Amino acid sequence: MPKQGKKYLESQKKIDTGKRYEFAEAIQTAVGSSYTKFDETFDIAVRLGVDPRHADQMVRGTCVLPHGIGKTVKVLVFAKGEKEKEALEAGADFVGSDELVEKIKGGWLDFDKAVATPDMMGVVGKIGKILGPRGLMPNAKTGTVTFDIAKAVGELKAGKIDFRVEKAGIVHAPMGKVSFGAEKLMQNVTAFLETIVRLKPSASKGNYLRSIAVSTTMGPGVKIDTGSLKELIK
């Protein structure tokens, strides 16, 4: 097991690892545990009462965080004609069709999200094996295959995230930066958890939100008392 650094151990002393903190206190505690010189990402991990091996218990979706994720998102759009113009006006960083496909085939991947109009998916499919494993493939389920290009680009630029439950039943997602402060991070986390609850599969029985923990990039995890969320998330 790798040896933890002195700063991490000092940070860990501020947290009671056996305690489940009330929502606001958990956010404040995690933010207070940050000790690095760079602006750490604030992450959340939610263990759900689902078995992702069954299709009817898959949890997947998107969420536009009120305060974004604190990162400039480079958006690429596969489109032609009027939709190409619409994408540029909406703020897309790269717009094109076949020429972008060829560029990506050559190894270029200097973008964070990709959007495509439905009529372009035949072309985009040629690089599915490149985009898919990197989570960059446009997908109708996450709103990135659409004719409403302006909305898709605007949401991604504003901080829209997409998430999917892992095999172990856990959903991980970034909630912003430590520099946002506890109040803005609480608002982002609330929006995310409301989305998670709304997506609860009907096949999921018993306790749905099994456990929740928040942490900074380099800091220890802080557990949240799910009971403190009942009034927050209705």
pTM of the model: 0.81
Asked whether residue 7 carries a pLDDT value surpassing 80, the answer given is no
Instruction: Name which of 2, 20, 14 is nearest 225 in CA terms.
Output: 20
Mean pLDDT of 137-161: 93
The model's pLDDT over 74-122, given as tens digits with 9 standing for 90+, comes to 999 999 999 999 999 999 999 999 999 999 999 999 999 999 999 999 9
Domains 6-69+160-229 and 75-157 share a fold: no
Pairwise pLDDT comparison (5 vs 32), residue with the higher score? 32
SS3 call for 63? strand
CATH architecture observed for domain 75-157:
3-Layer(aba) Sandwich (3.40)
Q: Residue ranges per domain, the chain?
A: 6-69+160-229, 75-157
Q: What was the pLDDT predicted at 1?
A: 45
Enter the tokens of residue 137: 């493939």
- CB contact set of 207 (below 8 Å; sequence gap of 6+): 49
* Residue 37 vs residues 34, 178, 219: alpha-carbon distances, Å: 9, 11, 13
Pairwise pLDDT comparison (135 vs 16), residue with the higher score? 135
Phi, psi of 80 (to 5 degrees): -135, 160
Mean pLDDT, the chain, integer: 90
The CATH class, in words, for 6-69+160-229 is: alpha beta
* Residue 232 vs residues 31, 69, 163, 221: alpha-carbon distances, Å: 20, 21, 21, 21
Mean pLDDT of 155-177: 92
Q: Is the distance from CB of 73 to CB of 110 less than 8 angstroms?
A: no
SS3 call for 61? strand
